[in-house]
Amino acid sequence: MYNAKTKTQTNLNLRDKTVFMPEAKATAKQITTNFFITDADYTMLDGAPSIRLYGRTDKGKSAIVLDPSFEPYFYIVPKEDPEKAKNRLLSLKLKDESLKDISIRNIDIVKKTIGAQENNILQVFANNPSDIPKIKDIVKHMDFVADKHEFDIPFFRRYLFDKDIRPMSWLRIEGNKIDSKFNCDITIKADSILKLDNPSTPDLNILAFDIETIPAGNGKQQIIMASFASSTGFRKVITYQPAKHKDTIVLRSEKELIEELVKDIQKEKPDFIVTYNGDAFDFTVLKERADLHKVQLNLGFNTRPLVFQRKGMTSAAIIKGSAHIDLYQFIFRIMRTTIKSETLKLDNVAEELIGEKKIKFDFEEMFRLWREGKDLSKVAKYNLHDSIITLKLAQYILPNIFAMCHLTDQIPFDASRSTYGQLVGSFAMKKAAQMNIVVPNRPASETIADRKRIAAIEGAFVVEPEPGLHKDIAVFDFKSLYPSIIVSHNISPETFNCSCCKSTSKNKVPGFPYYFCDKKRGFVPRILEELLIGRTEVKKEMKTFEKGSQDYILLDKKQYAFKTVANAFYGYLGFAGSRWYKRECAESVTAFGRSYIHKTIDEAKKYNLKTIYGDTDSLFLIVDSKEEKAAKTFLKHINDSLPGMMELEFEGQFKSGIFTAKKSGTGGAKKRYALLSETGELKVRGFERVRRDWSALAKDTQERVMRLVLDDKKDEAVTYTKKVIDNLKKGNQDLESLTIYSQITMPLSKYVLVGPHVAAAKKAEEKGIKTEPGTVVQYIITKGTGSISDRALLSQFARDYDPDYYINNQVLPAALRILSAVGVTEDQLLNKGTQKGLFSFSRK
DNA sequence: TTTGGTGTGGTCTGGA
DNA sequence: TCCAGACCACACC
């Protein structure tokens, strides 16, 4: 852990020294102010730890609030009498690895809930947060220590959990204004901190930032340009070669560029600095170049220099006071599954979410302009536009992140870089603190490995559909199936097979010797129920606002945060890295789920309603106008019989739907269908149409064919497909529509099977284009000889396409998938009796 | 140290 | 040359 005190001291800059007077305490002044908290950490103040909150006052002043009243602690579960254990601990002389003395500040005996029991345990206070893990390591093997808890929760997070202070909310601060060396308007040493019930967000200054670089040899990058766009209207481009552009200033060197950039950020004092992939790129390069030129990156409130913190696979650039939010991180970790675009590049994501595209600009062109010293106005325009898009994207996404902050008591920096597991974990830890429950320990890496080794638990049930075109389909689904099962059956690690209701429990798990307590409410169901009810309330509140209004959008993002965390809970119970892991709980959830779906299908049968498909929590029933009444009674009957929060909902009525046969084996294909609503909307799942690893041509053709077939216009679909094939054959098809997207998931050398996307990437590597795991490559199958992979080229290198491949492996299978469900054969599509058809379609 | 299981289908590879 | 099975990516919920 870093030492805040020494770091900040060595990092003083001139500006600080000239602005602030050294005689600090003499000017102390009593102050009361409202304060909007945006960030937090801790520092050492006169040898004692102090929580440090960052934010703005209601007068718009940038402020730091210090709270020295909070003390670091962890828990020890004693084997013997707590009083005796306490005295033994206090009498110990503790030394750390470097033989330095560590002292325990104090020990309280507290009553806490651990699992299903209440225990008197020791709350051990230390003088310094960094002493906690040291004390824990020294005492863990001692004979009177049964267990230790909550030693790995960072001090400032501990504070936010315990006080339930929600970052991005208002506080009332009373204290003394003190002088400090930090780059903010005021620093307050707090005497009291009060949470305010004001849901409003002040006007935040959000500064988007983007750089352009050129290769500087040996894998390094040189910054040639940087741009800013802020929510206050600030626009600026910095470079050091001629550029005639109104927002651009031209300096003399990369070093000057970096110095100017630091000055701008300090002057602007944004609440948030936003980037798109700034952790891995912009700030990484900036730090490297700043070090090279010996420029100090004194950013934010400058309470510590720019450092990187490991966050999963990547390192995150920390700026305190002007928290750095890397939008890409949040999109990658949380929003990825909801994003439809082929890649997670800024261009695609911005277009999908806010309808803005990047300016098209060729990197080669940029390098050339730079090397030849030509006017860079085009580059400047491009660079600034990127910052502007990043800013707009931030204005769209930050409310999602802030909603997560409120729900999980995490600072935006952490919330924006959290995985699902961390979001659920944080929410649970915050709730545990409120409910006097001890947080279970994080599993050791061996435990995680063990949990991963054992066989996976049985999951959901999927009904096998009957292939063909169906009419009059009504779709029903269970509202929040897994969360509602957990709440309604009290599924929680500590209610599992409790000793108090062995044979009496109503919560017997179908097919397992498991049951859950009837008498005592479990921790997980309690907090999950809060989430579900909370979400319902937010949705109700939404209805009081006009759709599309600012209030409506913010509430929508709030309910989305509730939903996200609620839905991730089931996975968290079965997640090997979880603090609340309980295999039997996860098994029980899916067992109940399967049982409810089966029962509901059986029940539908009694109402003469035929189930044609269903997946996990949904049912597709044939309901025509004659059966409408029966369907209504059925729904009511089911809901009357469901326990607790569980509910079956009518999702929608569709006039037709297609299910197809499996390609290999027999029967209908699951997870693939197309539905046409009464209003003409098409709902497609699973088919090539919704997959990125199919060409746009094949996907578009399939969609057209689907619509026609669902509208009983089979013949038109056949004609259309033939036309597409004909066009391909003539060589008229544009290459863009033939591009296939596919992700490289591991280092190229690790592939056992070299598929087309890997082959294309390998060929590109020889030309100096690197692909890392995570890269989505775009390739085209070109003319020539050999396997498909042999002929796969990145689209930027492809000059032609292989019509045979695109006919036989793209358009035909995609169209036929649908058409064969209505009896059209491949021959009907190909052999129109024309001579051409006989020899130009060689089957591989 | 990146919530879970279920499922389809393309391409390659190696043995018959 | 054919085909089963492995590998791989991506979707659904």
* Model pLDDT for residues A62-76, shown as the tens digit of each residue: 999 999 999 999 999
What residues form DSSP beta bridges with A654? Answer: A473, A677
What would the mean pLDDT of A792-804 be, rounded to a whole number?
95
Q: What is the pLDDT of residues A321-370, one digit of tens each?
A: 999 999 999 999 999 989 999 999 999 999 999 999 999 998 889 999 99
CB A135 within 8 A of CB A126: yes
Determine the pLDDT at residue A181.
85
Q: What is the pLDDT of residues A142-172, one digit of tens each?
A: 999 999 999 999 999 999 999 999 999 999 9
Report which DSSP code applies to A811. I
Q: Give distance CA A696 / C1' C8 (Å).
A: 21
Length of chain A: 844
Find and give the residue nearest to B1, measured CA to C1'.
A312
With CA of A743 and C1' of each nucleotide, the nearest comes out as C9
Q: Give distance CA A758 / C1' C2 (Å).
A: 26
C-alpha–C-alpha distance, residues A387 and A207, integer Å: 9
Q: Give the pLDDT band of residue A10 (cuts 50, 70, 90).
A: very low
Determine the pLDDT at residue A664.
82
Decide if pLDDT at A726 tops 60. Answer: yes
Find and give the residue nearest to B11, measured CA to C1'.
A755
**CB count in 10 Å sphere of residue A351:** 15
With CA of A773 and C1' of each nucleotide, the nearest comes out as C9
Q: Give distance CA A813 / C1' B9 (Å).
A: 11
Find and give the residue nearest to C10, measured CA to C1'.
A691
CB A471 within 8 A of CB A642: no
Q: Give distance CA A790 / C1' C7 (Å).
A: 18
Decide if pLDDT at A306 tops 90. Answer: no
With CA of A462 and C1' of each nucleotide, the nearest comes out as B6
With CA of A781 and C1' of each nucleotide, the nearest comes out as B11
Q: In sequence order, which ranges of A607-695 are alpha helices (DSSP H)? A: 628-641
Find and give the residue nearest to B2, measured CA to C1'.
A312
Decide if pLDDT at A122 tops 60. Answer: yes
With CA of A667 and C1' of each nucleotide, the nearest comes out as B8
Q: Give distance CA A714 / C1' B12 (Å).
A: 35
**CB count in 10 Å sphere of residue A378:** 16
Find and give the residue nearest to B13, measured CA to C1'.
A753
C-alpha–C-alpha distance, residues A680 and A710, integer Å: 10
* DSSP per residue, A51-71: EEEEEEETTS-EEEEEETT--
Determine the pLDDT at residue A2.
22
Q: Give distance CA A753 / C1' C6 (Å).
A: 9
Q: Give the pLDDT band of residue A8 (cuts 50, 70, 90).
A: very low
Q: Which amino acid appears at position A411 of this protein?
A: I
Q: What is the pLDDT of residues A603-626, one digit of tens each?
A: 999 999 999 999 999 999 999 999
Which region among A438-452, A647-661, A779-793, A830-844 has the lowest average model confidence (pLDDT)? A830-844
Q: Give distance CA A615 / C1' C12 (Å).
A: 8
Q: What is the pLDDT of residues A432-480, one digit of tens each?
A: 999 999 999 999 999 999 999 998 999 999 999 999 999 999 999 999 9
Closest CA to A652 of A626, A683, A629: A683
Q: Give distance CA A88 / C1' C2 (Å).
A: 78
Q: Give the pLDDT band of residue A17 (cuts 50, 70, 90).
A: very low
Q: Give distance CA A672 / C1' B7 (Å).
A: 9
Q: Residue A261 CA to chain centroid, in angstroms? A: 30
Find and give the residue nearest to B12, measured CA to C1'.
A753
C-alpha–C-alpha distance, residues A573 and A586, integer Å: 6
C-alpha–C-alpha distance, residues A47 and A255, integer Å: 37
Decide if pLDDT at A96 tops 90. Answer: no
CB A173 within 8 A of CB A35: yes
The helix or strand, by DSSP H or E, that contains position A273, with its residue range, turns out to be strand A272-275
With CA of A461 and C1' of each nucleotide, the nearest comes out as B6
Contacts of A577 (CB under 8 A, 6+ apart): A421, A442, A443, A448
With CA of A754 and C1' of each nucleotide, the nearest comes out as B12
C-alpha–C-alpha distance, residues A709 and A659, integer Å: 12
Q: Give distance CA A460 / C1' B6 (Å).
A: 7
C-alpha–C-alpha distance, residues A683 and A88, integer Å: 68
Find and give the residue nearest to C4, measured CA to C1'.
A664
Determine the pLDDT at residue A505.
85
Q: Give the pLDDT band of residue A199 (cuts 50, 70, 90).
A: confident
Q: Give distance CA A727 / C1' C3 (Å).
A: 33
Name the burial class of residue A155, with classes exposed (0-12), middle (13-18) and buried (19+) by CB atoms within 10 angstroms of its CB. Answer: buried
Find and give the residue nearest to C6, measured CA to C1'.
A753
Determine the pLDDT at residue A63.
95
CB A48 within 8 A of CB A127: yes
Determine the pLDDT at residue A520.
94
Q: What is the pLDDT of residues A24-46, one digit of tens each?
A: 444 558 999 999 999 999 999 88
With CA of A586 and C1' of each nucleotide, the nearest comes out as B4
Closest CA to A57 of A143, A160, A186: A186
Task: Considering any atom of strand C, list protein residues whose CB lies within 7 Å.
Answer: A 337, 460, 481, 615-618, 671, 684-686, 690-693, 741-746, 750-753, 755, 757-758, 776
Closest CA to A465 of A613, A617, A301: A613
Task: List chain B nucleotides near protein: any atom < 7 Å from a Cβ.
Answer: 1-13
What would the mean pLDDT of A512-535 be, rounded to a whole number?
96
What would the mean pLDDT of A77-81 be, rounded to a whole number?
93
With CA of A663 and C1' of each nucleotide, the nearest comes out as B9
Q: Give distance CA A752 / C1' C8 (Å).
A: 10
Q: Give distance CA A685 / C1' C11 (Å).
A: 8
C-alpha–C-alpha distance, residues A475 and A460, integer Å: 18
Q: What is the pLDDT of residues A104-117, one digit of tens each?
A: 999 999 999 999 99
- In the block, tokens 């208002």 appear at A170
With CA of A671 and C1' of each nucleotide, the nearest comes out as C12
Average pLDDT over all residues of chain A:
91
Q: What is the pLDDT of residues A731-788, one digit of tens each?
A: 989 999 999 999 999 999 999 999 999 999 999 999 988 899 999 999 999 999 899 9
Q: Give distance CA A789 / C1' B16 (Å).
A: 25
* DSSP per residue, A185-237: SEEEEEEEEEE----------EEEEEEEEEE-STT-EEEEEEEEEETTS-EEE
Decide if pLDDT at A7 tops 90. Answer: no
Decide if pLDDT at A12 tops 60. Answer: no
**Angle A541-A271-A299 (CA atoms, 0-180°, nearest 5)?**
155
Closest CA to A350 of A328, A379, A383: A328
Q: Give distance CA A245 / C1' B11 (Å).
A: 51
- A95 or A251: which carries more pLDDT confidence? A251
Find and give the residue nearest to C13, measured CA to C1'.
A616
A130's tokens: 């960094």
What residues form DSSP beta bridges with A324? Answer: A273
What would the mean pLDDT of A812-835 be, rounded to a whole number?
82
**CB count in 10 Å sphere of residue A338:** 11
For chain A, the distance separating the N- and C-terminal CA atoms, rounded to the nearest angstrom, is 60
With CA of A776 and C1' of each nucleotide, the nearest comes out as C9
Find and give the residue nearest to C12, measured CA to C1'.
A671
Report which DSSP code applies to A494. T
Q: Give distance CA A664 / C1' B9 (Å).
A: 9
Q: Give distance CA A462 / C1' B7 (Å).
A: 9
Q: Give distance CA A624 / C1' C12 (Å).
A: 26
Decide if pLDDT at A834 tops 70. Answer: no
Determine the pLDDT at residue A811.
96
Q: Give distance CA A613 / C1' B6 (Å).
A: 14
With CA of A660 and C1' of each nucleotide, the nearest comes out as B8
* DSSP per residue, A717-745: HHHHHHHHHHHHHTT---GGGG-EEEE--
What residues form DSSP beta bridges with A515? Answer: A508
Q: Give the pLDDT band of residue A831 (cuts 50, 70, 90).
A: low
Task: List chain C nucleotides near protein: any atom < 7 Å from a Cβ.
Answer: 6-13
Q: Residue A685 CA to chain centroid, in angstroms? A: 23
With CA of A442 and C1' of each nucleotide, the nearest comes out as B1
With CA of A475 and C1' of each nucleotide, the nearest comes out as C13
Q: Which amino acid appears at position A425 of this protein?
A: G
State the sign of the Cα–Cα–Cα–Cα dihedral A464, A469, A474, A479: positive
With CA of A792 and C1' of each nucleotide, the nearest comes out as B11
Decide if pLDDT at A837 tops 70. Answer: no
C-alpha–C-alpha distance, residues A634 and A608, integer Å: 10
With CA of A673 and C1' of each nucleotide, the nearest comes out as C12
A134's tokens: 């040291």
Q: Give distance CA A780 / C1' B13 (Å).
A: 23
Q: Give distance CA A720 / C1' C5 (Å).
A: 37
Decide if pLDDT at A238 tops 60. Answer: yes
Determine the pLDDT at residue A233.
96
Closest CA to A592 of A715, A533, A668, A507: A507
Find and give the residue nearest to B4, measured CA to C1'.
A571
The helix or strand, by DSSP H or E, that contains position A177, with its residue range, turns out to be strand A169-178
Decide if pLDDT at A844 tops 70. Answer: no
C-alpha–C-alpha distance, residues A334 and A95, integer Å: 43
Q: Give distance CA A694 / C1' B8 (Å).
A: 14
Find and give the residue nearest to B8, measured CA to C1'.
A669
With CA of A444 and C1' of each nucleotide, the nearest comes out as B1
Instruction: Return the percentage of chain A with pLDDT > 90, whole number.
Output: 84
